[in-house]
Amino acid sequence: MLASRRRKRAVDRPPRPLRRFQGFQADHHSGRRRACCECPARQRRRHGRFRLPAHDRDARQARLQGRADEDDRDRKDRCRPVLHVAALVSQRPISKLKNKRENRMHSFKSKIIVGVALILSAGLAHAEDTIRLGMTPEPYMPFTQVSSAGEWEGLEADLSRAVCTKMQIKCDMKQMAWDGLIPSLNEKKVDFIIGAFSITDDRRKVVDFSTPYYTEGTSFVGAKSDSTKITTIDAPDGAGKILDPSIVSGKIIGVQTSSVQAAYVAKYLKGAEAKSYDTADNSVADLVAGRVDYVLIPDLYIQTFLKSPAGADYEVKLEVPKNTTLGEGVAFAIRKGDVDTLAKVNKALAELDKDGTTQKLVDKWIFDKK
């Protein structure tokens, strides 16, 4: 009965209007719509996976492609006036404007390359115009010291500035301990060093020396109350006169570490005990404190001490005769094999010696002729 009612309703109900592109046809015999290609949901329920017939798929694909081509033509037509205007303004072809993103990226990369090149060239120019000079802040007047205002002063400080001015190069003064100057030079932390370095054969093995700018002596200093007479004898190696080692046998002699005076004691005064100090100041302090009997020290430095109230009770026992162990003068030290820096320093020293600058500085700081 229910089925007859459904059929009756279907017969009485007027046929629905056809829908375009849905694949439906009217069944005029039964009054119901019949699907020549049923809807996807019905196909899935009945056959599982829905698939349009080949002729319908091709027609649908052609319609979609036609709409896409039409939309693309419309979009190009709308953008073409803008592209033409932009091309006229920038004087660029439309083809380049279409690749605007690629052009912008290329420009960005070009700017990066140019920037890196400028930085590298500036760094090279800075490296060529600057030279690193190693100096020690330990007081060693009249050669050098750092004043209370933080300024370098002394013979070597003024001479270094004059050398850099002659070379037309900015000097970057690096502070370090005196016994670390030569190691820092060989490790390429600095380009040349100054520190009252006496020229010796042992030092020539590890560094090159400039032309000497001063020749200093060596003093053997002790207390005035010490009545021991200090004399000299001929050196066993034929190097001239040396301090008599028998007189100081068993005595404690203060020297600065790595100095020519320390090498002298080790070579000629083997009966004495050498006590090394990191600075000349500390060796003199131990002389005053009575922890050493004598000090073997550069004459220029000890004169400043002897003129002070603390040095009133001390005197020079002997001006030690010069020989190769005590050096052939004081000079700049340059890294072994660095012929360019050595040539520049020697040229500057020659010009300073010729115009009298070196002698003026020696008179000012050593002979107190200000």
Residue 119 sits in the same domain as residue 142:
no
Whether the predicted pLDDT of 118 surpasses 80: no
34 or 136, greater pLDDT: 136
Whether the predicted pLDDT of 228 surpasses 70: yes
Does 25 reside within a domain?
no
Whether the predicted pLDDT of 66 surpasses 70: no
Number of domains present in the structure of the chain: 3
Q: Which of 56-60, 197-201, 310-314 is the least confident region?
A: 56-60
Note the pLDDT of residue 149.
85
Confidence of residue 83 (pLDDT cuts 50, 70, 90): very low
Whether the predicted pLDDT of 229 surpasses 80: yes
Q: Could you tell me which of 296, 242, 244, 249 has the C-alpha nearest to residue 271?
A: 249
Note the pLDDT of residue 297.
93
Identify the domain boundary among 85, 104, 125.
Answer: 125
Q: For the residues 192-208, what does the mean pLDDT come to?
A: 91
Q: For the residues 27-40, what does the mean pLDDT come to?
A: 50
Note the pLDDT of residue 347.
94
Residue 114 sits in the same domain as residue 202:
no
Whether the predicted pLDDT of 45 surpasses 60: no
Residue 243 sits in the same domain as residue 262:
yes
Residue 207 sits in the same domain as residue 234:
no
Residue 244 sits in the same domain as residue 224:
yes
Does 159 reside within a domain?
yes
Residue 316 sits in the same domain as residue 225:
yes
Average pLDDT, the chain: 78
Ranked by mean pLDDT, which of 23-37, 54-68, 349-363 comes out on top? 349-363
Does 59 reside within a domain?
no
Confidence of residue 117 (pLDDT cuts 50, 70, 90): low
Angle at CA of residue 173, ends 257 and 139, nearest 5°: 40
Residue 294 sits in the same domain as residue 338:
no
Residue 161 sits in the same domain as residue 140:
yes
Confidence of residue 122 (pLDDT cuts 50, 70, 90): very low
Residue 107 sits in the same domain as residue 174:
no
Q: Which of 214-218, 272-276, 355-359 is the least confident region?
A: 214-218
Residue 173 sits in the same domain as residue 241:
no
Confidence of residue 126 (pLDDT cuts 50, 70, 90): very low
Q: For the residues 350-360, what does the mean pLDDT come to?
A: 92
Residue 340 sits in the same domain as residue 352:
yes
Whether the predicted pLDDT of 115 surpasses 80: no
pTM of the full structure: 0.54
Report the share of the chain in percent with pLDDT over 90.
42
At 361, which CATH number? 3.40.190.10
Confidence of residue 125 (pLDDT cuts 50, 70, 90): very low
Q: Which of 43-57, 62-76, 83-97, 148-162 is the least confident region?
A: 83-97
Q: Which domain covers residue 80, as residue numbers? A: 74-125
Residue 104 sits in the same domain as residue 153:
no
Report the share of the chain in percent with pLDDT over 70.
65
Q: Could you tell me which of 344, 318, 354 has the C-alpha nearest to residue 244?
A: 318
Question: Is-contact 170 131, C-beta < 8 A?
Answer: yes
Note the pLDDT of residue 216.
81
Note the pLDDT of residue 124.
42
Angle at CA of residue 297, ends 361 and 141, nearest 5°: 30
Q: How far is CA 280 from the centre of its chain?
A: 33
Q: For the chain, what is the largest distance between any 2 Cα atoms, rounded to a whole number of angstroms?
A: 153
Whether the predicted pLDDT of 106 surpasses 60: no
